[in-house]
Amino acid sequence: MPIYEYQCQSCGHAYEALQKINDAPLTECPVCNKPDLAKKISAAGFRLKGGGWYETDFKSGSKKNVAGDSASSTPSASSSSD
Bigger pLDDT: 56 vs 7: 7
Least confident of 31-45, 46-60, 62-76: 62-76
CA-CA-CA-CA dihedral for 37, 43, 46, 51, to nearest 10:
150
CA distance 7 to 40: 7
pLDDT over 70 percentage in the chain: 52
- Structural contact between residues 27 and 19, judged by C-beta atoms closer than 8 angstroms: no
pLDDT score of 20 more than 70 = yes
In a domain, 46, yes or no: no
Q: What is the pLDDT of residue 43?
A: 72
In a domain, 16, yes or no: yes
Bigger pLDDT: 58 vs 30: 30
What pTM did the predictor assign?
Answer: 0.52
CA neighbours within 13 Å on the CB side: how many for 5? Answer: 9
In a domain, 44, yes or no: no
Q: Which range marks the domain in which residue 11 is found?
A: 3-39
